Structure 1
Amino acid sequence: MQHQHYQLSYFEKLIRVDLKNVPATQKEPDSKFFAFTTTDVINQKESMLQSFGRYLYDLGKKKQVGWYISMHQQQLVLLLDQMATYLPEADVIDSEISLTDITWFNLYKIIYLSLSELLSFLECQFARYLDIDCKVPSSYLLRAKNKFFNDVEKLKENFEETVIEKRLISIVFQPFTDFVKADQTGLLISYQQLYFLKEMGDKLSELLEDVDDGVDLTEKVKDVLLYLNFNSVEYFHYWTETINAEIDNLSTIREKLDRLIFLQKKVSQAIAKPGFIFKRLYAPLQSQLLSWLADEIMYQKEKAALAHGSHTPDELGRWKDFKVLTGFSVPQLGNIIRLLVDNGLYLNKNKTEVLDFFSHFFTSVKQDTISAGSLRSNFYKDDAAVSKAVRNILTDLIKSSHK
């Protein structure tokens, strides 16, 4: 990006050089200087408003457009915050100016409002290219603080009058409370964080407007928080503790698993607002809840297996590649199994399952893997030579048992 396309050079020089030490030497600005500077500031602002779109159209490439917009956004925020240090708090959020009141404060305010208009233009016309991790100007924080203090406090009171779990109310409104009570000096709030709080306040207000009296809002608020990706640590703990308490009150493992699987389905199919998240460094709420549910479902299944004397998945995995090595031929093994089944020593009713088991977990003298079909064929086959060989094996075993 060439330097001549950077459009804030005039304002940077004016704020950081021309006006830096002048107020210390002059109580009030000279009328000619005031008139010239205010006219120049307004002209520069108007020129930038007209040239932004034209230049970006010529630029073309989305990557360069995004870089160009975010660069000017960040610099405008820095210049606005620098100018805000020269103004009383009331003037930072007040948009009224006088072009005839020749004072340093008024000149600062004219510059401040011109920069604010430029930033607002970028936010409205090029919202998709904004850097959402960029800190917002101090004026945004002051306005938001006043709005949250009045509107959100009233909203919280309205929720407290409805049917809803009180702990959930406390968790939901904690970010607003922290924001309002925090010292704004040095507080870094990004566009993304401020957007999130505004959207969350709007969604909670909409929820109150659409609900009938006496309806429990707990689940509806949870749905809103999942939609907005409210991945607060406190809320995650609240959600999992609530589900644990609910599961503990169910009598059977089947009931517990049914409830957990239903919640897994509900959470996985929930729609989340694209690009929204409360804490960008944490995993999305949906991912956290699904991971927890998967672990809990596995725990309940293993618990059920242990309670019924069954094997856990880990225990079954131990026998995945296990084989009993034998010195039998496949015909001999089939014949021996038939003897044991026909004489009631193996009590399984399903012969096919028995044969499949032996083919999977036993080897023959010549084969590490026995075909289930081959073993089944030899099980039903009458072969005098094989029968004689098996009798010899059994005779040797009987003799061995007498030693």
Structure 2
Amino acid sequence: MRLPTELLASTSEKKLELNIQQLQSILISYADMIVAHHNLFTKSYTENLQLEEVYKSTLSNIEHILSFIEKQYKQYFNLNQKVPDNYLLISRSNIKASLKKLKAHFISEGLDNNFIQIILYPYLRLLNNTNVTYTYRDLIYIKKLLAYQQEILSASSQNLKDQLIESLFYFNCNSKRFYPFYVNMLSAEIEAEQSVQQKIIIISRHLKLINQFQQKPGYSFNPKAISVREQVSIWLEEELIFVEKQMKTNQLFSIPHQPTTVDDDGINVSFTVKELAMFAQLMMESGIIYNKSKIYVAQKIVAVFRTKENHIQPHSLSQKMYLKEEHTLNSIKNYLIKMINHINKIEEEE
């Protein structure tokens, strides 16, 4: 196939690009007009086989020319130009057939339904949103992603879910569905750890993995949004800052734990932590303790006293000073009554 020599005669690179893209635009417009006319007068076409044949032949020739331009002059081909309606219709049909096999394979591999919907979302969006204008760039993205994931399935990998996730990063699937799904998955893994140090290790490991993920140049589900790799990386960095601050706060208020024994350096009391906190609060409110800072008082108490619960944190103790539970108040009353009775007994002995 050869394009008219007049079209390629220009020695200017910019002029040649403009000519190619104008031809591309005209051919797409003609193709859409022919399809629209066929849809409007369907009965006339079905009753006239020769007319129907002309219709099919004309569309086929236009699509061949567009395919030729796309391959031979791809540096000039406008990927942001809309896809001809008929070509999009055929592409949807092919993708739908492939999608059915893809979903069946995912189910047979035991992937959960929520994850399957995340994987299928880019394809379903193309199939279901029939009123949206799709460009060559959109269609190429979907076809390349589909081919890549089909290749993953054919390899029968043991780490199918991980490879599918990596494929979404590779093709920058920055949809509003994949990002929250992946972040929630990371968050669940981080929150499952009790140790702050272990949380930092997990976040750092994922941050390293995310930054090492490759991304295919020029491919993006949403070209106007930042890449999903960048979004997740920002989230992990913010999470790391938060957890590190949490660790510093814990270190600031924590006192090394020593097992409580009779011979312990601390003073052993029969109070619970809540009772000790309430007793300290009452002494502060009644003016027995002059210090105004609850956290300061809590730090000093924790450094000396050992309760029934054995392990006390200053921050926890200071927070419990605000609690005024009836059960705790009654316990404190009983202790005070016991002390008063003991004072009365001493007075009687004198």
* Structure 2 counterpart of 1:360: none
User: Contact 1:267–1:286 at 8 Å: present in 2 too?
Assistant: yes
Q: Compute the displacement of 1:216 (Å).
A: 4.1
* Structure 2 counterpart of 1:255: 198
Of 262, 265, 269, the residue aligned with 2:208 is: 265
Partner amino acid, structure 2, of 1:294:
E
Distance 1:148 1:110, change over 3 A: closer
Q: Compute the displacement of 1:278 (Å).
A: 0.5
Separation in structure 2 between the aligned mates of residue 147 and residue 197 of structure 1, nearest angstrom: 12
* Structure 2 counterpart of 1:196: 141
Count of residues paired in the alignment: 247
Of 67, 73, 77, the residue aligned with 2:28 is: 77
Separation in structure 2 between the aligned mates of residue 68 and residue 268 of structure 1, nearest angstrom: 41
- 1:143 aligned to 2:143? no
Partner amino acid, structure 2, of 1:254:
Q
Unaligned runs of at least 5 residues, structure 1: 1-45, 92-100, 311-403
User: Contact 1:87–1:109 at 8 Å: present in 2 too?
Assistant: no
Of 52, 55, 68, the residue aligned with 1:121 is: 68
* Structure 2 counterpart of 1:211: 156
Separation in structure 2 between the aligned mates of residue 256 and residue 133 of structure 1, nearest angstrom: 44
Separation in structure 1 between the aligned mates of residue 24 and residue 57 of structure 2, nearest angstrom: 19
Partner amino acid, structure 1, of 2:4:
S
Distance 1:165 1:62, change over 3 A: farther
Distance 1:102 1:246, change over 3 A: closer
User: Contact 2:174–2:228 at 8 Å: present in 1 too?
Assistant: yes
User: Contact 2:7–2:20 at 8 Å: present in 1 too?
Assistant: no
Of 107, 115, 138, the residue aligned with 1:168 is: 115
Separation in structure 2 between the aligned mates of residue 263 and residue 103 of structure 1, nearest angstrom: 63
User: Contact 1:229–1:285 at 8 Å: present in 2 too?
Assistant: yes
Unaligned runs of at least 5 residues, structure 2: 43-47, 254-350
Q: Max radius of gyration: which structure?
A: 1
Of 232, 248, 255, the residue aligned with 1:289 is: 232
* Structure 2 counterpart of 1:225: 168
Separation in structure 1 between the aligned mates of residue 152 and residue 235 of structure 2, nearest angstrom: 27
Worse overlay, 113-122 or 257-266: 113-122
Q: Compute the displacement of 1:239 (Å).
A: 0.5
**Once the two structures are superposed, what CA deviation does each residue of 1:178-202 show, in whole Å capped at 9, x if it has no partner?**
332344xx43111111111111111
* Structure 2 counterpart of 1:5: none
* Structure 1 counterpart of 2:100: 153
Say which SS state the counterpart of residue 75 (structure 2) adopts: helix
User: Contact 2:63–2:87 at 8 Å: present in 1 too?
Assistant: no
Partner amino acid, structure 1, of 2:17:
G
* Structure 2 counterpart of 1:63: 14
* Structure 2 counterpart of 1:349: none
* Structure 2 counterpart of 1:397: none
**Once the two structures are superposed, what CA deviation does each residue of 1:47-95 show, in whole Å capped at 9, x if it has no partner?**
xx3425x743x43444333333222212211111011112259x9xxxx
* Structure 2 counterpart of 1:133: 80
Q: Percent identity?
A: 21
User: Contact 1:86–1:108 at 8 Å: present in 2 too?
Assistant: no
Partner amino acid, structure 1, of 2:105:
N
Separation in structure 1 between the aligned mates of residue 163 and residue 240 of structure 2, nearest angstrom: 24
Distance 1:60 1:285, change over 3 A: farther
Separation in structure 1 between the aligned mates of residue 160 and residue 112 of structure 2, nearest angstrom: 8
* Structure 2 counterpart of 1:180: 127
Separation in structure 2 between the aligned mates of residue 73 and residue 236 of structure 1, nearest angstrom: 36
User: Contact 2:7–2:16 at 8 Å: present in 1 too?
Assistant: no
Partner amino acid, structure 2, of 1:204:
Q
- 1:51 aligned to 2:13? no
Of 221, 233, 245, the residue aligned with 1:278 is: 221
**Once the two structures are superposed, what CA deviation does each residue of 1:275-330 show, in whole Å capped at 9, x if it has no partner?**
000111211111111111111111111111222228xxxxxxxxxxxxxxxxxxxx
**Once the two structures are superposed, what CA deviation does each residue of 1:75-116 show, in whole Å capped at 9, x if it has no partner?**
211111011112259x9xxxxxxxxx8844444444333322
User: Contact 1:162–1:216 at 8 Å: present in 2 too?
Assistant: no
Q: Compute the displacement of 1:147 (Å).
A: 0.9
Separation in structure 2 between the aligned mates of residue 158 and residue 216 of structure 1, nearest angstrom: 14
TM norm structure 2: 0.65
* Structure 1 counterpart of 2:181: 238
Distance 1:141 1:102, change over 3 A: closer
User: Contact 2:172–2:216 at 8 Å: present in 1 too?
Assistant: yes
Separation in structure 2 between the aligned mates of residue 143 and residue 108 of structure 1, nearest angstrom: 16
- 1:306 aligned to 2:246? no
Say which SS state the counterpart of residue 134 (structure 2) adopts: coil
Aligned-residue RMSD, C-alpha: 2.4
Separation in structure 2 between the aligned mates of residue 256 and residue 181 of structure 1, nearest angstrom: 41
Partner amino acid, structure 2, of 1:137:
P
Distance 1:211 1:87, change over 3 A: same
